[in-house]
Amino acid sequence: MSLPIAVYSLSVKGNDIPAVEESTDASIHLTMASVDASEKSNKTTTLWVKVRPSMPVDTEEDEEMDEQMKELLEESQREFVLCTLKPGSLYQQPLNLTITPGDEVFFRTSGDATVHLSGNFLVNDEEEDHDHSDDEEDDEDYDLSPSEDDLVDTMSDEKDENEEDSEEEEEEDDEEQESEEDELDNVPAKKVEEPKKKRTNQEETASPQKNENKKQKTEKSNKEKKVAFAEKLEQGPTGPAAKKEQQQEQKQQPKTRTLKGGVTVTDVKVGNGTAATNGKKVEMRYIGKLENGKVFDKNTKGKPFAFLLGRGEVIRGWDIGVAGMNEGGERKIVIPAPMAYGNQSIPGIPKNSTLVFEVKLVRVH
């Protein structure tokens, strides 16, 4: 099974445009062909593809290849129409074409418009598992959940606080007990020497019980006082100062906004560099997830993913969600299915899927 590892994009206008500039071990899965809505031409534009399959040939035999083998290679080249688009009425066409490593693939157009191709680079599960082991350190920058060490430290701190509270309660109980003993020592001798009144067996039995009940009531009262005092401490200061502090905390919390097409964005970190506007080239780092948290695509190291904003080179939700960011900014973008791949199913992404992207704008130029 193959999994997507990066977004693929290519602009085609003219003849013999190669699918990739340099050879790669990854397959390419094309999912969409589109033309820019700002194209002025009203004529149809047809996209052609020419494929020459990879044929493993021994180097020594390659030098002695006869004319018949060359003719077979030329016949193996196939050229066919992928789609026909027309600015003003038909802007895009879903595709399902996979280019395997080693194939020589060229595109050409017949018409005036520029056709933008998009898709994904694919690798096998084994290669993907290997890549994940190398990327663990890079993914730590994007993981917002607390680590196991943080949880252990928090539990340790809570345990220490509970132990300190227990020690304080024991010290207070000891002080109360010492105070009661001191009071007994200071009782006048006359009271001790007074003759004791006779008690019935019933009074002697009830007396220890009364003392025990009184002691329990005293301990319960002390605990209630301690709990009430602790609750007051947890409430913190009140009045204008507290309201001002709460307002500042609310301002610091990231706000979620809903944009065109139901795309929602949350600015985790606001950048202070150049703003991303339509027509500018942007370089991005990102992690793409499904709603259940499963990662289907990412770019966290190496060369950042670059595209022209607002030109249809990426899914519609990206053009909408990235616009307005500044260099250095980080944003969470939630894209509903109609603004992503709709009811189309591609490797790693089921149809009608809502996509969640954590993105960082590296550069605008």
Residues assigned a catalytic role: 286, 296-297, 315, 341, 357
Whose tokens are 């004791």? That residue is 196
* Sheet architecture: strand order including 78-85: 17-18, 104-110, 45-52, 78-85
Separation CA 123–CA 125 (nearest Å):
7
CA 97 to CA 106: how far, in whole Å? 13
Question: Cα(303)–Cα(172) distance, rounded to whole angstroms?
Answer: 64
With H, G, I as helix, E, B as strand and everything else as coil, classify residue 94: strand
| Among 100, 74, 88, 90, CA closest to 32 | 90
Note whether 80 and 49 are within 8 A (CB).
Answer: yes
Give Cβ neighbours of residue 304 (< 8 Å, ≥ 6 apart).
283, 284, 285, 362, 363
- The dihedral sign for the CA sequence 237, 242, 248, 254: positive
